[in-house]
Every structure is written in C-alpha cells, then in structure tokens.
Structure 1
C-alpha cells in the first residue's frame, strides 16, 4: 500500500488537519478519566457540591471539544479517501488505455475491471479506516499506558503483561489471513470472467443448449470463492472473542488487585475507576487495531494487484517527431516481421510493399494467413518485431500515437458500437461533425436507408453492444464512423462480411468517390470485394504469395487462383 501513498500528496494539508484533530480528540478522551477521578476522590468523598459542578462542567467542555474534533476529522478523512479512490481509479484507467493489446491480453479484461473497481474500493475503505482508527488507536494505547502508570505503577503491570499477548494473537491471525485474501481476489477475477463470458455469449450458449453447463461453471467458481471467504472469515471471527476474553480477564485482575491496593491505602477509589477506564481505552484501542488488521490483508492484496497494473510499462511508446502537415497517406512496409506474444511462429514474415495516396490495396488470404495482423500494425495496436512501417517517409514508431491515429479511419473486424444514440456513435469518429456531415457519412455507408426509417432517426438509442441493430446495420454504422473522420488512411478489416452483395456493391461505389485522395486498405474473404482494387496482396501463412491486379494474380499466383476458384464459377471469372 505504501507505493500508492503518492496519490495522497494533493491531500497533505487535509491529512495534517486530520492528524492534529485526532490527536486533540485522543487528549480529550485521555483527560476525562482523570477529571472523573478528581470528582470522586475530592468532590464526592468530601461532599463538595460546588467542586463537583465545577469539574463536571469542565468535563462537558472537554467532551464537546473532543466530539467536534472527531466529527471534523471523520469528515476530512472521508473526503481524502474518496478523493484518493477517484485519483487512483483515473490513473489506472488512463494507464490501461495506453496499453497495447499485448498488455491487455496479459491481464485479461475481467481482471482489469476487478482491479479498477473492487480492488480500488477495498484500498479506499481501508484508507478511510486508517485515518479514523490507525492514528487514534496508537495514541490512545500509548497515552492510556502512560496515564495508567501515572495512577499506579504496580497495578499497571497487569496491562503490561496483557498487551504482548494481544499483539501476538493479532499477528498470528493476520499472517494466516493474508494469502487467503490474495486467493479471494484471484477467484473473484475468475468469477467475473465466467460472468462476462456468460452474458456476452448468451446467444451462443442458448443456441447450443449449454445453459446448464454455464450455470455449473458459475456455481463451481462461486462455491470456490465462497469456501475461501468462509475460511478467512472464520479465522477473523475468532479474533474478536479472543480479544474480549483477554479484556474481561484483565478487568477481573485489575479489580482484584485494585481492591487490595485500596485496602492497603496505596490508591483511592477514584484512582481505581480512572485506572479501569484507561485499561478499557488501551484494550479497545488494540481491538481497533485488530479490526484494522482484519481489513489490511485484503487491501494489501488489492493494492499489490493495482500496483501490478501501474508498474507495467507499455511496449508501445509514444514517438516525438511531428507529423507532416501535408496530407499524403503514403505507407511503406519494409521487411516487416511480427509475432504474437507467446506464439511459436511469426504471424507475418518479411512483408514489404508500398501504398500510395488514392490507391486501394486489398488483402486476401486463407484463415490465419495474417491479414488482420498486417492492418493492426499500421495504427500500432502491436509493434513490429523487426523491419519498419513508414507513413509519408516517417517511421510510425517516431510519431506521437495521437498524430498517427488521427490519420487513420479504422473499421474493426468485429463491429463495436457504444451506448448512446446513432448520432453519438457516428460522431465518435469526429466529435465536431455537424448533422449534415453525419448524414452524408451514413449515406455513403448505406446506413441512412435504415436509420431514416427508425422512429427517432439519428436520435435512436443504441443498446449496450448494439444488440438492438442487426450485424449488417452495425457494420454500416462503424463504416460511417470512419468516413465522417475523413482520414488520410482507411482500414476496413473484413468490414463488409455481414452485407449482402447489392448493398456492398453500392457501398464500394460510393466509397470509391469519397476516398479518391486517401489510401485504402480492405481486408476481405470475398473475391468479389477485392477484384476491383488497384492492387491485391495475397497472404499465405504470414508471407506474401503475390501482389498485383486481379487478372495478373489469376495468371501468376496459385494461392489466389485457388481462392477465386473456390468462390466463383468459370463463367463469373470470365
């Protein structure tokens, strides 16, 4: 948790005030038993009513002051802990946003969500408790021991004997609970993963009649988490009874030996009453510490998981070279080799080609040939292992990521829509786009046809993950999102697969006019989609099997000819 303390720097003044007020509250609580002792030994014994009223009134003032300090300290501690949680959550989110796909895959989406929500909440709650208890508890404990010794040294040996026993009990239980809390957070990750898969894949699960199987998976993960939680809670539940047992025996011992001391005339009744209160303060301060130690192991495990995320240095580093103001969009691959993390073989090997502005480059190949991997390297979702990719003569690794991605309009293989209206989703590509620009982009993408028929038109709300629109409609909206940006480079990663042939043909015709001055990459499985491209790159097992126009490749590239023959008849080819 110490590594996260840097997020408390903006709240240093509030922390100083909290510590000061907590110190004053502790002094107030420690002074009250002494005042009560004076009332009993002087006022009650001597029947001095005026003294009782005088000291009693002063006690009320001291108690009121302590209460005010406590209220203000609790308010500030809550404010600090909430601010701390907000800052850490923002930092983790922005840090994860800078991750390459490699780092995201390393942790997993479910784990990153748990770390950003549950883990940070755990640390935030413990920080609040630390500010409330961890400061006051040591002050009350140490101050109580000093005041008890001041009242009677011999009687204070009871407390001195008990404190080490309590400390040993707290330490032993905490030591056993820490690994269990770590295991709980990992099992919570697994539970979130299964829940996420069950919700996102609900259609597949139902279509294959695997609902019972998924319920069983969830129940097993849930039971595993519960069993660990029960074990750790049983361990922690034993702490309080043990503390109370020691506390009660200590009270008996104090009264027993205190009675003997009163009988011998060594102390007075008021002193014994004050001593008992100081003993209670000491014991309860240790109970407060034990409560902290119940929470600290889990928060420490959570803090370690948060630090794991924050300590990851993203592989993809921001470049510093300014992008050229003149729009060209010339892309060159120079002997590029790329391997997915953990893969045995490269996904791409020795890829070299160039694409000029205004040119449409189609990429085709069998499943697993590296088509998507190739286009994912251009916006630097991954970095190349060797070789280089240049845009307008500048290595993309030297460009700031914002400048690089500003040049690109990317339409992913899996259409992704966000919660909000259709207008909001298209404007995601260009926030300042006017309604006319949005509508024109939708018309080019052949989306205006179905959007205009909706009751609310462009103000129609898209459900989470776009579940209230079809696959083809999703693709057309994501294409419109890229078009409205008017980038130098378009990347369509198998983005026409859900469209019928007629709609696709109309879209490509409209798109050709819109992208006349841009570089266009089209990844496709359909031969009909790539036939009219200026150049076609044929990939086979991560290597270029051929580059050229359709007819050239039919004559020179065996791989391309096999793909064409598998999809088209001899008449269609002719």
Structure 2
C-alpha cells in the first residue's frame, strides 16, 4: 500500500464529515448529469425542425412501436389527400415488437388516417395514445399504393414516461419563431441546476479544507511526539534540519494531497460520471469507443508518477537542508558578520538552491507533459467518435439526429476534460507520496522507550551505583566510557573532572536516561534503571547543563516547564533561591514577561539562573550540574554556590566541573581520562595518588583568578 494511502487513516477520525462530502459529490454528479441532459433539448429547440416536443413525441412513438423512426414531409402521390401528409419512415425494427408484428420493415412509411387528420402529426398521436391501444395509420411502401393498417402499442419505457412528463410542463410552440420562451425556460433550468451544484461544491470544499487542517494538526502532533521520543543521539548526530523539513514541507505536501483528493478527486470523477451517464444514454456504442482511451492515460500517469515520486523525495530532502542552513545562519548572524562569512553562507545557500531548482524543474516538466498528453489522446478519441457518428448519420440519412451528435460531443469534451484534470491531480499525488514516505519513516523510527511499557521507578532515597559502564555513540569506533564503576550514598556529592572529551557529560547523561549504556548497569536504590520507565526516572532527576535553554514563553512558564498548575508562590521561591528573582522583578511584566526565542533579552548569567531555578522547583532526589556556573559572573557566583549548597543537602549530586572553584562543593572527586577512571577520592587523596588530577589542578590554579587562588581548600601548598 502506498505511503500516501496509509496517511489517509487520519481522515477516519471524521467519518461523518467524509460521508457528507461523498453525499455532496454524488449529488454534484447527479446535477452535472441533469445539466448535461438539458443540452440535448436546448439543441433541439435551436437547431431541429421538429423541435423539442416533436423530438419527445418521436421518442415516445419509437418506444411504443419498438422501431426507429425518422420524419419525412409530404411529396408522396398515390392516395388522395396524402400529398401533404407528415410521414414517419421506419429505419430499424426490433424483434417481437409491435412494429414487427404489424409486418413493418426498414423503408416503410407511416402517416395518420383520415379519421384523425391526414396532415396530423402521427408521432404526437402515438405518444398520447395509452399503451395497449390500437391506432389507425396509412402504410406506404415503394411502388405501392398507401395501405390502411392498425398498430397495437406497447407500454412506453421509463425514460419515455419521464420525457413525456417533463414535456407536459411546457407549452408546445405553434411555430419555429415561438420557441424562444421555451429556450429561456431551459436556460433557467440549467442555471438553477448549476447554482445548486455550486452550493454543494462550497459545502464539500469547506468541509474538505476543515478536515485537512485538522488532519495536518494531528499529523504534526504525532510527528512532535515521535521526535520527542527519539533518542537524544538522533539530533546530535543528524541535526534538526530533516525533522524540521518533515514538520514544514512534508506535512504541508501531505495536507495539500489530501485536499486534492477530497476536493478535486471527488469532484472530477463525479463530473466525469455524470457526463459518462448522459453520453451512454445518447449512444452507448460511441461512448464505449471513447472510453478505450482510459488504459493509455492510466499507463502514462503511472509511468510519470514513478519519476515524480523520486524527484519529489530528493526535493524535500534538499529543502530541509536549506531550511536547516537558513536557521543556522540566522541564529548565528552575529558570528557570521563578525567573521565576515556572509559571502560564504550565500554561496552555500545558492548551491543548495540550484540543486533544489533542478529537481523542481524536473517535476514541473513531468506535470507539464501530463496535461497535453492526456488532452491529445482525448482530442483524438473525440475526433474518432465524431467521424464514426457522422458516417452513421450520413449513411442512414438520419440528419434529424445531428443534435444528438452535438450533445454527445459536448458530453465527451467534459468527460475528457475531467480525465485530464484527474491525470494531473494523480501526478501531483505522486509527489505527495514521497512526503508521506518520509513522514512514515519518522513515525516508525525506534524511540528511546521500549515498545512494552515498563514499571515506574519507586521513590528513591537517591543512592547511585555504576557497575562496569561502557558507552559508545552510534556509529562510533571506540568507547567514550570504559568500565566505569562507583557508588554514591544518599546525599553524596561527586565532582567529575577531566580534560575535554574525557566523557563527563556522557556519564551524567546516562544517569538522566538521555543515553543508554552499551554495557553495564546503573542502579538507583538497587533498582536497575533499564528495567523502569524513563518518565519515572526523570521525575526524580534534575539537570542544569551548560546550555542555558530558554523558551519563547513567560518567565513563570520557563521556570515551571513541565509542571502543570504549579503555584506561583513556589515558582517565586525557586527563583529567589537561584538569585533570579532580583532581575525578574525588573522586567516589564515581572514573571509574566514573555521571553524571546533563546532568551535574547537576558544576559548569559540571567539565563543560567533561570535554568537553576527550574531545577530547584522540581525538588529532585538526584541533581546534576553540567558546568552550571559557566555563565555566572564572579559577583553572583558565591551567592549561587551558597544556594546550590543548601539545595544539595540530602540529595545525591553530580557536578561536572572545568573550573576547580565548583569542585569545593563535592565530597568526592571522580577523575576521567579518555573515558577511563583515573582516580576517585577526596582532593587530598587525589593530589597524592593521581597524576592526572595533579596536572588538572596545577593547570587550573595557574589560569584561575585571584579569588580562586585564595580559596582555602584549594590553595597552593606553601
């Protein structure tokens, strides 16, 4: 099953709306057929000598006699008073019909008897005479004198009864020049049918648009859920450009395809079915001849659709790359300007744009080819049908049915115009198929939680144990953590130190469940975290990273992120504990001030204090500080460290430190070097036993400001 077809499952949530739209489409088809059915009577009024009523009478006479009749006027000698008679010539006779039982055959002519009026319209007489009744008439055969006969009539067919009923609502014109009011009436009927059809199309299109908008929202919510369930390594490895492309372009393409389906692909087949029904009623043989063009159109659309699907997928991928690069350039515009990289960024954007242009041009070419190809096939078939119908009319001498040919041609033109539009829309759906495939890939990507639900982690006293933990990033060629083992008692504080790339951030990410160990186990209160849900784990863990993430929301919502209905008093207490309250109250609306994306209106230190307040509000059992003081100015650092020290009491804490001024809060220090444990102990123990720690300490002390040099615990020994 094609990806786009599978995406239609979102439409099932509104089956009532779809039922209304399908009903509208069926009614639109019926109104189209009715509107086209007016075409033949209109042509009869304007072009035919017999007129609309004469045509209805002749059709009724044919139905009751079981013969095909054509009108012939006077000029026949051999019987007194028949020179000006209105003759009906038999051109074909159906077996076992009243005409066959009366011995009539092709070439025979019939006229009204004297007891009716020899100049009366026999077709009118036959049409108005009830079925089962005998009618007297003159029979004229070549080289023979007129013969009086009686014709027994059958009951008329349903179609004939409908025509007679419709004709009874109109006044039969006495002459050709008096047909204008009848023409106006037919035009009024056509206008009323068109107005009703358009009203139904408005209802259908509005419901379709509303349904597609709801569906797009549901798809975006599912895509967001899938993105948030992906492992953290997905975006760090692949970036966010492709995911953003799926949100913006792919779902937009799918929504456009659904609108095409509900709008165009419901209306056009309905219009085509209406035209086909009328065309079959006019001449089923010629209509079947015209329908033979269907398979070539299908094969053409299918062949072009394969090409379109491939090019469309590549276009979507390049579009996502362009949007990712644009976001990257705009968010780092200060750096771009500072390093005078504007030209380089423009060139890269232009290269991507040219690649996108190439694929989009191919798509445009494919779409441009479909329309004229289908139009050419349709035109060829229409010309073939006209040629065949013209031959039949000229051979049979049935010039009075030329209006039928005109009506049939009009129906076929509408039929193939709809086929042309359907082919174009089907080709567009091939483009949508590529977007739906990419959307499905996102939904099908394995999440960080296993498919089977796991039990919740019990409320912990926060003991933490690492047992021979190894970790290797997906696609990596070596472990970034190797055989790491340690145990923390409740309330212990462990500082993680080491050179860049030693694995400190990787280790704390494992505790928070952002990464999963390649081997080994992590226990909290003797519970293996791999056997419990991540949601329950993260309820008991809070992390303040060196990335001070601030969202486009109010200050209060930023602090209480993820905590619904949190009391304002608790939010303000957490902010005060992080020394954020002092600058929040200076903002235009205080805690209700809406921050811009990334918190650009705040300084780096202020953003960092907001993230610390966010962690304090959750009152976790396990705290993680990943360079939490990296953005704090020296003036407020001591106050924040004091607040952290108070908050850390009774909680197991891991502190990633590149500056030794933050290590003083730790009861023990873990030294990592190239992913291995180089040492574990207090500052004094490590200074004596760990060469890697001594090197780090000496480098930090030499580079540290005077305030750090004077801190008693880490002062240089005299």
* Band of TM-score, shorter chain: over 0.9
SS in 2 for 1:329: coil
Q: Deviations along 1:515-574, whole A, 9 cap, x unmatched?
A: 212111110101221134111111111111111111111111111111001111598322
Determine whether 1:23 maps to 2:26: yes
Offset of 1:283 from its aligned partner? 0.5
Paired position in structure 2 for 1:225: 356
Paired position in structure 1 for 2:14: 11
How does 1:33-72 map onto structure 2 within 5 Å? 33-41=36-44, 45-47=49-51, 48=53, 50=171, 52=182, 59=190, 62-72=193-203
Q: What are structure 2's unaligned runs of at least 5 residues? A: 54-169, 173-181, 703-708
SS in 1 for 2:615: helix
1:117 to 238, 248, 253: 248
Specify whether residues 133 and 451 from structure 1 end up closer, same or farther in structure 2 by C-alpha distance, changes over 3 A only: closer
Are the equivalent residues in 2 in contact too, given 1:316–1:382 (CA < 8 A)? no
Determine whether 1:504 maps to 2:504: no
CA distance in 1, matches of 2:665, 2:313: 57
SS in 1 for 2:466: strand
CA distance in 2, matches of 1:421, 1:69: 46
After alignment, is 123-132 or 202-211 more displaced? 202-211
Offset of 1:367 from its aligned partner? 0.6
Paired position in structure 2 for 1:186: 317
Paired position in structure 1 for 2:60: none
Are the equivalent residues in 2 in contact too, given 1:488–1:519 (CA < 8 A)? yes
CA distance in 2, matches of 1:106, 1:262: 74
CA distance in 2, matches of 1:503, 1:367: 26
CA distance in 2, matches of 1:8, 1:459: 39
Determine whether 1:293 maps to 2:426: yes
How does 1:101-112 map onto structure 2 within 5 Å? 101-105=232-236, 108-112=239-243
Q: Which has the higher contact order (CA 8 A, sep 6+)?
A: 1
Offset of 1:350 from its aligned partner? 1.4
Q: Deviations along 1:39-97, whole A, 9 cap, x unmatched?
A: 44479644556264776665555444433432322222222222221211111111211
How does 1:369-384 map onto structure 2 within 5 Å? 369-384=502-517
Offset of 1:236 from its aligned partner? 1.5
Paired position in structure 1 for 2:603: 470
After alignment, is 28-37 or 214-223 more displaced? 28-37
After alignment, is 544-553 or 6-15 more displaced? 6-15
CA distance in 1, matches of 2:202, 2:453: 50
Are the equivalent residues in 2 in contact too, given 1:319–1:401 (CA < 8 A)? no
Paired position in structure 2 for 1:544: 677
Paired position in structure 2 for 1:132: 263
2:458 to 324, 332, 337: 324
SS in 2 for 1:103: helix
Q: Deviations along 1:467-491, whole A, 9 cap, x unmatched?
A: 2222222212111111122211111
Q: Deviations along 1:416-459, whole A, 9 cap, x unmatched?
A: 10112323222226444444433332333233343344454434
Paired position in structure 1 for 2:439: 306
Offset of 1:253 from its aligned partner? 4.5
CA distance in 2, matches of 1:553, 1:16: 75
Specify whether residues 206 and 67 from structure 1 end up closer, same or farther in structure 2 by C-alpha distance, changes over 3 A only: closer
Paired position in structure 2 for 1:269: 402
After alignment, is 303-312 or 488-497 more displaced? 488-497
How does 1:415-434 map onto structure 2 within 5 Å? 415-428=548-561, 430-434=563-567
Are the equivalent residues in 2 in contact too, given 1:41–1:269 (CA < 8 A)? no
How does 1:365-404 map onto structure 2 within 5 Å? 365-404=498-537
1:200 to 331, 351, 358: 331
Specify whether residues 19 and 511 from structure 1 end up closer, same or farther in structure 2 by C-alpha distance, changes over 3 A only: same
Task: Determine which structure has the larger helix proportion and give its number.
Answer: 1
Specify whether residues 145 and 79 from structure 1 end up closer, same or farther in structure 2 by C-alpha distance, changes over 3 A only: same
Are the equivalent residues in 2 in contact too, given 1:174–1:294 (CA < 8 A)? yes
SS in 2 for 1:290: helix
Aligned residues: 573
Offset of 1:391 from its aligned partner? 1.6
Paired position in structure 1 for 2:346: 215
CA distance in 1, matches of 2:562, 2:300: 60
Q: What are structure 1's unaligned runs of at least 5 residues? A: none
Specify whether residues 56 and 198 from structure 1 end up closer, same or farther in structure 2 by C-alpha distance, changes over 3 A only: closer
CA distance in 1, matches of 2:421, 2:567: 60
After alignment, is 224-233 or 34-43 more displaced? 34-43
After alignment, is 309-318 or 542-551 more displaced? 309-318
Specify whether residues 117 and 143 from structure 1 end up closer, same or farther in structure 2 by C-alpha distance, changes over 3 A only: same
Specify whether residues 56 and 453 from structure 1 end up closer, same or farther in structure 2 by C-alpha distance, changes over 3 A only: closer
CA distance in 2, matches of 1:455, 1:311: 45
Determine whether 1:441 maps to 2:584: no
Determine whether 1:356 maps to 2:489: yes
Determine whether 1:83 maps to 2:214: yes
Q: Deviations along 1:156-192, whole A, 9 cap, x unmatched?
A: 3652454444444433433332211111111111111
Q: Deviations along 1:343-387, whole A, 9 cap, x unmatched?
A: 111111111112222221111111111000000011211111111
Offset of 1:255 from its aligned partner? 4.3
After alignment, is 143-152 or 508-517 more displaced? 143-152
SS in 2 for 1:228: helix
Q: Deviations along 1:280-334, whole A, 9 cap, x unmatched?
A: 1220121121221231121100000000001112143375323334x51222112
SS in 1 for 2:171: helix
Are the equivalent residues in 2 in contact too, given 1:316–1:380 (CA < 8 A)? no
Determine whether 1:573 maps to 2:573: no
TM-score (norm 2): 0.75
Offset of 1:271 from its aligned partner? 1.1
SS in 1 for 2:618: coil
Q: Deviations along 1:249-289, whole A, 9 cap, x unmatched?
A: 54544445444443334471331122012201220121121
CA distance in 1, matches of 2:453, 2:654: 24
TM-score (norm 1): 0.92
Are the equivalent residues in 1 in contact too, given 2:33–2:277 (CA < 8 A)? no
SS in 2 for 1:461: coil
